Amino acid sequence: MARSMCWHCQSEVKGEYMCGQCVKVQPLSKDLDYFTCMRLPRLLDIDQEKLQETFYDLSRTFHPDFYSNKDDQEQIISLGNSALLNTAYRTLKDPIQRAEYLIRLEAGSVKEIRSNPPADLFDEILELQEDLEEYRSLSTDGDKARMEELRQKLNVNREALEQRQAQMESSLKKKFSEWDVLQRQSPQSTDAREEKDAVLKGMQEILSDKTYVRNIVNDLIETAS
């Protein structure tokens, strides 16, 4: 993390976060990615305990509580650094957010992760949506027998989708370790680019399917269980 110049005394900053000359805190670079910030390699299987340790350690360095005697500029920097640190920790702590962040980071050109229906489930889901619609409309004027019939059908669908979720979970895990293997072999992101991009793309597809299915399952639980 080479930063050129201290904002305060203009001397060269050699220390990691503080100026060696005037001991003022330095702003974290805007280009700093969360993995680097948390002193972690860009892998998806991370050591949670080490992550927390780094988070606590950096919190002790940057938290505004330790800057209330300092001048305004230092207080602003500590606030900004702390906010970035907290976001980095929150993002990396959660495996899904971590993967989504990695995809954004590695494949900058890839669009935001959208929630799309899985291609092979498209027809099935279309029918399911129609059933849900009908079920909802019945709940006000109520043909009880038809409602019960639909309810059972929807529940069967739900179970199938939940199974599908479990499948997606395990194939996602597989992709995670595929990434980690590639990354360990060639940590420089330019190497094995094609292979890595393919893994990332696969991950992204599963993530978007997963979001979609989760929303539907939540809908089903809320409406018809």
Partner 1 sequence: MSRIVGIDLGTTNSLVAYMDGNQPRVVLGQHEQAKVPSIVGMTDNGLIVGEAAKEHLLKDPSRTIYSVKRFMGKSLEDVTDEVKYFPYTLQEKNGVIRIVIGEKTYSPPQVSAMILKELKGRAEAQLKESITKAVITVPAYFNDSQRQATKDAGMIAGLEVLRIINEPTAAALAYGLQEKTRGCIAVYDLGGGTFDISILQLKDGIFEVLATNGNTHLGGDDIDRQVSDVFIKEIKEQFSIDPHNYSDLVQTIRLESERLKVKLSDDVKAKSEVELPDQKGTYQREWTRDELESLANNLIEQTLGPCQLALKDAGLQAAQIDEVVLVGGSTRMPLVRQRVEELFGKKPHCELNPDEVVALGAAVQADILSGNKKDMLLLDVTPLSLGIETMGGVMSALIRRNTTIPTSAKEMFTTYVDGQTSVDIHILQGERELVKDNRSLARFQLKMPPLPAAVPRVEVTFLIDANGMLNVTAKDIRTGEAQSVQVKPSHGLTDDEVEGMVRESFEFAAEDIKQRQVIEARTEADAILMATEKALLRGKSLIKENEVKGIYKILDELKAVKEVDDHRLIRSKISEVEKVTHHLAEVLMDATLKEALESKKLSEVT
Which of 3-11, 51-59, 147-155, 204-212 is the region at the interface with partner 1 (rule: CB under 8 A)?
Answer: 51-59
CB of 203 to partner 1, least distance (A): 23
**Contact indicator for 121, 212 with CB cutoff of 8 Å:** no
CB of 44 to partner 1, least distance (A): 20
Cβ closer to partner 1: 83 or 156?
Answer: 83
176 binds partner 1 (CB under 8 A): no
Rounded distance, CA 67 to CA 47, Å?
A: 30
How many chain residues are in contact with partner 1, going by CB under 8 A?
18
**Contact indicator for 24, 74 with CB cutoff of 8 Å:** yes
CB of 201 to partner 1, least distance (A): 26
Cβ closer to partner 1: 36 or 59?
Answer: 59
86 binds partner 1 (CB under 8 A): yes
Q: Which of 27, 64, 118, 202 binds partner 1 (CB under 8 A)?
A: 64
**CA torsion 127→128→131→135, rounded to 10°?**
-170
Cβ closer to partner 1: 13 or 37?
Answer: 37
Phi, psi at 12, each rounded to 5°: -70, 135
63 binds partner 1 (CB under 8 A): yes
Cβ closer to partner 1: 30 or 144?
Answer: 30
Q: Which of 10, 11, 29, 87 binds partner 1 (CB under 8 A)?
A: 87
**Contact indicator for 183, 43 with CB cutoff of 8 Å:** yes
Q: Which of 7, 17, 66, 212 binds partner 1 (CB under 8 A)?
A: 66
CB of 46 to partner 1, least distance (A): 17
59 binds partner 1 (CB under 8 A): yes
CB of 60 to partner 1, least distance (A): 6
Residue ranges that bind partner 1, judged by CB under 8 A: 52, 56, 59-60, 63-66, 68-69, 79-80, 82-83, 86-87, 89-90
